[in-house]
Amino acid sequence: MNAHSSLRRLPFLVLVSLVVASVVSPKPSKHKIRFTFSYDFRLTPACSATAKEACVQQFNFYEISRGTGISERVKLGSMPAPADATGFVKGITATTKIFLFTSGKHMVAVSAQTPDGSESDLNLCTKIIKIH
């Protein structure tokens, strides 16, 4: 076999590899993700009639496993801070709308957002979930 015939086979091998890879890769399916977490409102209070700055206005939910992580995060949703929340609150819960996810492991995160748009460090509240 000469080098010229090997080069003619290369496009065929690349094409077969791409077809096999697309058959083997998982198909996305529709899922909702339910977030349940705790937050200590003694550190940053919930926004209220008296607390309008430096307060938690809402919580944001992200998938941070795509691309390069946090810098390429995908927002899955948000929810307002619970009304009249004080102290350490357990069991804050919200469910995202339906999104397409591939099966496998995904890293998700929650952040607290203040009225000026700044968010808490996503590294402080992460979880790896498995989508089936």
pLDDT per residue as tens digits for the range 99-118: 988 888 999 999 999 999 99
**Residue 28, pLDDT score:** 85
CA atoms in the 13 A half-sphere facing the CB of 63:
19
What confidence tier does 25 reach under pLDDT thresholds 50, 70, 90?
A: low
**Residue 102, pLDDT score:** 87
Q: Domains in the chain, please, with CATH?
A: 26-131 (2.60.40)
Residue 59 has pLDDT above 90, yes or no: yes
